[in-house]
Amino acid sequence: MIKNDLFLKALRGESVERPPVWMMRQAGRYLPDFMKLKEKYDFFTRCRTPELATEITVMPIDQIGPDAAILFSDILVIPQAMDIEVEMKPGVGPWLPNPIRSQKDVDRVNVPDVADALSYVYDAIDLTKRELNDRVPLIGFAGSPWTILCYCIQGQGSKNFDKAKEFCFTQPEAAHELLQKITDTTIAYLKLKVKHGVNAVQVFDSWGGMLSPVDYQEFSWKYIQQIVNALKAYTEVIVFGKGCWFALNEMSKSGASALGVDWTCSARNARYLSGGEITLQGNFDPSRLFSPPAEIKKMVHEMIDAFGKDRYIVNLGHGILPNIPVENAQAFVDAVKEYGS
């Protein structure tokens, strides 16, 4: 039995004394102990070493006390498993030296045996579950097929992912074939995560907002829906689409347990667009964690009042920034724990 199950109660729509809180990228660069490990080990070494991934996952639970842990990993382990080379370049971020640009390139993409290709992730889950000892739930995650495709074709991060969009609009058959391969791999990957003990999964559609509502349906949402359909019988599924407020209504009918909301969509609009019955997660502007702790606490309480304490998970509207003071992240978590007391 998980001792602190507030997060799972909120996902199930049960009434709670206060909403649960966690932060996207909470196992990350704002923590001094994380930076010490970063100096010693490169990014994918940290991802591929179960002991390091576990230490990083549990670090924020011990140090700032959120109500859920999220496994330290990266969305780009999926293309790596599919025989697409991915590096993490200092100062650049994700770097794919051989981006996909043609049908021939798509033909070479492999749908792997995830148990073998991503065994280090499952080893990290096993180790993390032991280390957490049922204190809080553990979240597993994956990127949306569209977001993964963006990197596979662009070859790196981008402000507009113009090459990825061009590929989809000029070679739609190849694009859909690649999206389906990513989807099939992601479903297998997440299902096995659930078997290894994660208590919920989140799909990050970080670049969904790059698409128009019509193109979003064709190139992103229908693949996310396949993932939700495949997983919802086994676990709670959270879908987070950054910049995808226009799809909240359809997302709310998908069978997902919760929907993430970014900071550009108000609580009132998010409740209205999603029909008011589904759990929402978000949506504090990550940059607002630069505000003084007293102001952070006031804003967090206002945010909870706006969303309501039930069917709500307090989070940021995207990942925590690396230069946020630890005491400000602590104020964010503490504000939720103090709510209503």
CA distance 65 to 74: 22
Return all residues near 180 (Cβ < 8 A) that are at least 6 apart.
145, 223
Q: Where does 144-231 show beta strands of DSSP type E?
A: 200-205
Sign of CA dihedral 124, 324, 283, 305: positive
CA distance 282 to 304: 10
CA distance 256 to 122: 23
Query: Does the annotation place 151 within a ligand binding site?
Result: yes
CA distance 218 to 215: 5
Maximum CA extent, the chain: 61
Q: Can you tell me which residue has the tokens 């391969």?
A: 181
If you ran DSSP here, which 8-state letter would residue 319 be given? Answer: P
If one counts every other C-beta atom within 10 angstroms of the C-beta of residue 148, the result is 28
CA distance 288 to 296: 7
If you ran DSSP here, which 8-state letter would residue 21 be given? Answer: B
Q: Is 327 helix (H, G, I), strand (E, B) or coil?
A: helix
Query: In the structure encoding, which two tokens stand for residue 257, read together?
Result: 């347990």
- DSSP string across 59-75: HHHHHT--S-EE----T
Query: Does the annotation place 301 within a ligand binding site?
Result: no
| Cα–Cα nearest to 176, from 142, 210, 218, 209 | 218
CA distance 95 to 74: 13
Query: Does the annotation place 74 within a ligand binding site?
Result: yes
Query: Does the annotation place 28 within a ligand binding site?
Result: yes
| Amino acid (one-letter) located at 255 | G
CA distance 326 to 330: 6
Query: Does the annotation place 26 within a ligand binding site?
Result: yes
Q: Binding-site residues for substrate, please?
A: 25-29, 44, 74, 151, 206, 318
Residue ranges for the binding site? 25-29, 44, 74, 151, 206, 318
